[in-house]
Amino acid sequence: MTYPFGAVVGMDDMRLALLLNAVSPAIGGVLVRGEKGTAKSTTVRALAAVLPPVAVVPGCRFACDPAAPDPACPDGPHEPAAPAQTRPARLVELPVGASEDRVVGSLDLERALTEGVKAFEPGLLAAAHRGVLYVDEVNLLHDHLVDLLLDAAALGTAYVEREGVSVRHAARFLLVGTMNPEEGELRPQLLDRFGLTVEVAAPRDPAVRAEVVRRRFAHDADPAGFGTAWAPEEASLAARIADARARLPRVVLSDDALRQVTAVCAAFDVDGLRADLVTARTAMAHAAWCGREEVTEDDVRVAARLALPHRRRRNPFDAPGLDDDTLDQALEDSRPEDGPDDDPAPPDGPGDGGAPPPPQGDDGGPGPGESRHRDDGSPDGGSPDGGEETAGAAAREKAAVAPSDPFRARRLEVPGIGTGVAGRRSKARAERGRVVGSVRPSGPVTRLHLVDTVLAAAPHQVARGRSGPGLRIAREDLRQATLEGREGNLVLFVVDASGSMGSRARMGAVKGAVLSLLLDAYQRRDKVGLVTFRGGDAALALPPTWSVEAAAARLRELPTGGRTPLAAGLHRAAETLRVERVRDPQRRPLLVVVTDGRATGARGSDALGAAHAAAQRLAAAGTAAVVVDCESGPVRLGLAGVLGTHLGAHTLRLEELAAESLAATVRSVREAA
């Protein structure tokens, strides 16, 4: 189901970002972030109805512009004066599970080798040329497809290379992606390729929500009539986009406006100059959209709000955002010196025009509406009953220990070779990687192993009547290359949060180590889960997810103390892995148990024996595991190593998780605990 573009309510920023890209495709697309059920996909699909139509060369599969046809078009060459055909702009959807050949197109290698014919079947990038390429759940896109998008977005050209046979074609498109941040973040390289980003959420106003439901019911009852009712507004919107496109070349970006753009980008400490270019283009598109031919400060403000939030991030666990006060200050500081003064000071007033001192109370303290704080950030004074609140805050702080600073972690791998989805952790048979052999193809050859193909054909040349320099190749000679790359895994953390973990400094170091492993999982495109055990039971604090941000948040809030039900933690981990094998059977798990190896239970029970038995059952199921030994101090019991033996796991001390250059730092943190 699609709504007319004008029928979407409560999503002003998203609507504006899409419209500005329709006015100026050079902006570079839109990334829409938001919770599920907020009509992200519906709004994007409705964009195609209001885009201006495009003129194409008749019969060209690559949507060449008759006014400037691509000289390297595979369907060309086209005559410059060839007749033109007008068709609506396309919105092409790229499925998350698409193959590489489906995205960039494919060459028929069998015909190329046996007949000398270069037969090319265009892919989705060719279909999206001069239109919109839409990726739903773009954060779940496989890395090898992300690389293809990065290349096409940067160059405006798609390349298909197969064993010396190559094809290139133009691929300039408006890239639009939608995602739910709870399922994981984007790679920084792809994130930066989106010109603009917006956050969407469901409206909280009951009247607005009722209107959305009302329109949905109206569409379901009469789709044709619903579209007809909104057709005039869509036509008006399409005409306004076309008018703004025509006005855009006349929009002037003055030196003062450009100075504001660069000042804002510098104030937010963005990387590189792409942010400046995108912000300037967006400001010009906004001016054209508003009917102006000169960029104003309001245009720069709107452009910065859309173009900078996703470019100022420094930590993968930080949500993107923009501070309005910093934006206002940057714009104010960059105004021309000879411009009007919005708030002139009295010429003969105190301080000779300087800023007045802040208001103060009768005792010289902060004035009304201002808070008073000690150096440590705690309130200085308050209501008579504030002591109980302070004590409660202190108790909560004691329960949830803050993690130490994360470090660069060593790579932990699942042994053997898997067949999971592309990632960066464990070895796997993959679509991309190094060539390790060849097999007879069961279908079309997509990655030819040329040497093995020639070796297979060589013994039959005399029988096939070869008399010249050419090589006679038959279908049975073709060999498909076998590649070895890396896969993403499910990294399930089982964290001991009991009182046996010792002091606050020690638990902080443990949390810092797990946080470092989470950061490593983010970079290697793993799914993550978190099981914790303390007190009398274990809990699945975070079911397996793509969102390492959610795992990091749960880890920071994790309280500590109580008994050590190690067996319960291992049982909960085994059940979690069992369920996940059914949901995602090709994704191999890696169990990371963070503990000192101690176990306590009810009086008279053999808690340690139960834990070792649970570990043996996990090992029998073939679960790859790593035990992180958190024991510290001069006297060591070595219980974590015993647990690792029962798990069939490699046991690492806490400081051994860090890369070599950071090991000394982690060791000092551990010794301080």
DSSP 401: P
Phi/psi for 261 (5° steps) reads -60, -50
Instruction: Quote the CA–CA distance of 119 and 158 in Å, as a whole number.
Output: 16
Contacts of 69 (CB under 8 A, 6+ apart): 57, 60, 76, 77, 78, 80, 82
Contact 40, 34 (CB under 8 A): yes
Mapping DSSP to helix (H, G, I), strand (E, B) and coil, where does residue 220 land? Answer: helix
| Element containing residue 301 per DSSP (H, E) | helix 297-307
Catalytic pick among 209, 216, 259, 274 = 274
Classify residue 364 as left (phi > 0), alpha (psi -120 to 50) or beta.
left
Q: What share of the chain is helix, strand, coil (3-state, %, to 5)?
A: 45, 20, 40
Instruction: Quote the CA–CA distance of 342 and 358 in Å, as a whole number.
Output: 20
User: How many Cβ atoms sit within 10 Å of the Cβ of residue 665?
Assistant: 14
User: How many Cβ atoms sit within 10 Å of the Cβ of residue 398?
Assistant: 12
DSSP 366: B
* Residue ranges with strand state E in 85-187: 85-87, 91-93, 105-107, 120-122, 132-136, 157-162, 165-170, 174-179
Tokens, residue 345: 């000071």
667 part of the active site: no
Q: Quick one: 443 exposed, middle or buried, by C-beta within 10 A (0-12, 13-18, 19+)?
A: exposed
Phi/psi for 449 (5° steps) reads -95, 100
Classify residue 242 as left (phi > 0), alpha (psi -120 to 50) or beta.
alpha
How far CA 140 is from CA of 132, 204, 629, in Å, comes to 19, 28, 33
- Beta pairing class for 537-545 and 91-93: unpaired
Residue numbers annotated as active site: 274
